[in-house]
A and B are shown apart, each in its own frame.
Chain A
Amino acid sequence: DGGITQSPKYLFRKEGQNVTLSCEQNLNHDAMYWYRQDPGQGLRLIYYSQIVNDFQKGDIAEGYSVSREKKESFPLTVTSAQKNPTAFYLCASSMTPRDHEETQYFGPGTRLLVL
């Protein structure tokens, strides 16, 4: 089955700890994205990558880091510098847009909780 997988489904972080959220896609998409969703709010972009070995900051990149060493994978690290990490994290991917076409496909999400 083609799609986007995220793991783990739930993640617990201790004070001062870095944690990494996994995102893998087998859709052969060029672009990948990380969003954060807080209760009752829309999604806010953390980082995105249009091609391997390249990524750009989104609106709320502080306290997060990413890498894009493979086309299929775009892991997100929540560092200890992120003081309010409790949220639902969503990964998405899309083809490089042709004309005006671009649909983003989303993974099932990871819920991060602070102990």
Chain B
Amino acid sequence: KQEVTQIPAALSVPEGENLVLNCSFTDSAIYNLQWFRQDPGKGLTSLLLIQSSQREQTSGRLNASLDKSSGRSTLYIAASQPGDSATYLCAVRFGSARQLTFGSGTQLTVLP
């Protein structure tokens, strides 16, 4: 069964700290991997999409990496701010599947 796992489920850090969120997946034959942000009671906002042929993508203070052989992706957030507090979800499109498979998310709290 193709699954996506995110550990830890929750993380608290002081403002200004650099942090890494983890995502692991069970099948290395992926089409792409996407990181989303979700604020409480809201929809999802796409942060970064990594194609299967890429190893990383960057947007501002965010950097996402992909290692298909080990089944892992990381989302690096530099110089964290209280406004970064949200739930971060990892989603994988496996092989020829049309749909995304989501992890359960990491709830991040950045303390001022």
* Cβ-neighbour of B41 out of A4, A50, A105, A109 (below 8 A): A109
| B interface residue numbers (CB < 8 A to A) | 4, 6, 9, 31-32, 34, 36, 41-46, 49, 51-53, 89, 91, 93, 98-100, 102-105
Smallest Cβ-Cβ distance to A105: which chain B residue: B46
* Cβ-neighbour of B46 out of A42, A45, A104, A108 (below 8 A): A104
CA distance A12 to B18 in the complex (A): 42
Q: Which residues of A contact B43 (CB under 8 A)?
A: 4, 6, 90, 106-109
Q: Which residues of B contact A31 (CB under 8 A)?
A: 98
Cβ-defined contact, A104 with B42, below 8 A:
no
CA distance A58 to B34 in the complex (A): 19
Near B by CB (< 8 A), chain A positions 72-115 give 88, 90, 92, 99-109, 111
Cβ-defined contact, A101 with B100, below 8 A:
no
Cβ-defined contact, A101 with B51, below 8 A:
yes
CA distance A104 to B100 in the complex (A): 9
CA distance A41 to B104 in the complex (A): 4
Smallest Cβ-Cβ distance to B48: which chain A residue: A103
Count how many chain A residues have C-beta atoms less than 8 Å from C-beta atoms of the other chain: 30
CA distance A41 to B94 in the complex (A): 19
Q: How far is the CB of A8 from chain B (nearest CB, A)?
A: 14
Question: Which of B6, B32, B53 counts the most chain A CB atoms within 10 A?
Answer: B32
For the complex, is A40 an interface residue (Cβ under 8 Å from B)? yes
For the complex, is A48 an interface residue (Cβ under 8 Å from B)? yes
User: C-beta contact mask, A39-60 vs B, less than 8 Å → 1, else 0?
Assistant: 0111111001010000010100
Cβ-defined contact, A33 with B99, below 8 A:
yes
Q: How far is the CB of B35 from chain A (nearest CB, A)?
A: 11
Known contacts A106-B44, A108-B42, A108-B43; is-contact A100 B102 (Cβ 8 Å): no
Q: Which residues of B contact A44 (CB under 8 A)?
A: 102
Q: How far is the CB of A83 from chain B (nearest CB, A)?
A: 23
Q: Which residues of A contact B32 (CB under 8 A)?
A: 100-102
